[in-house]
Amino acid sequence: MPLLRLVLSAVFMIAGLIPKSEFVVVRGEKVRVQANTSIGSINCTYSSAGKRDTLFLNKAILKQDRLSIAIPVKKFSCGNILLNKDFQHTLNAQNHPFVQVDVLELNKHKNTITGTLLLMLAGKSKVLKDVSFYVITNSKAQTLATDLCLSFTDFELATPKKMGGMVKVDDDLQISVELQLCAE
């Protein structure tokens, strides 16, 4: 369906029926969650590739046109099976098996890109406005990325405690969202 939208938009632009709008084609995504503990840090990562979607810039994104990333909590990799299970338990994966990130809006202003995201985690949702994105370019790909600082309490989650409270996890969560873009 996104490919069809892209083709139709190109046809209408060529025909001069709608004004030219900028867009990006997303070919994959990566989400990282980091939390600091009293003995180090925990890093959990999820990545996916292959599914393509088109995001138009400087234009209201209709619900059916949103980039919606549904991430199975059990697919996050935290480094070992115990950390994976702790992460799943903390996010209540039994009752809420997916973390969802929706791109509601994406705007380009000269050299900056800002947007609005909807994050749904453990049955709670939070709209994140004026999120700043930056572009990472290397020889293989171009990535649109953002770094977010949220907290367990933003989603009414208790910070995990292990070994009778000897290992404590900070309330802050560092979340990185990367959208791998197709070459133009």
126-183 residue pLDDT tens: 999 999 999 888 877 788 899 999 888 888 877 766 655 566 778 788 899 998 888 6
Give the chain's domain count. 1
pLDDT at 165: 59
Could you list the residue range(s) of the whole structural domain that residue 88 is in? 2-12+29-181
d(CA 30, CA 42): 16
Residue showing tokens 């560092």: 174
Q: Answer yes or no: is 18 within a domain.
A: no
What is the overall mean pLDDT for the chain?
79
SS3 76: coil
In this prediction, residue 130 carries a pLDDT of: 92
**64-77 tens-digit pLDDT:** 677 888 889 999 88
pTM: 0.76
Domain with residue 121: its CATH number is: 2.40.128.110
Is 23 part of a structural domain of the chain? no
**What's the whole-number mean pLDDT along residues 41-51?**
84
pLDDT of 13 strictly over 50: no
CA distances from 178 to 36, 159, 166 (A): 21, 25, 34
Within-domain flag for 152:
yes
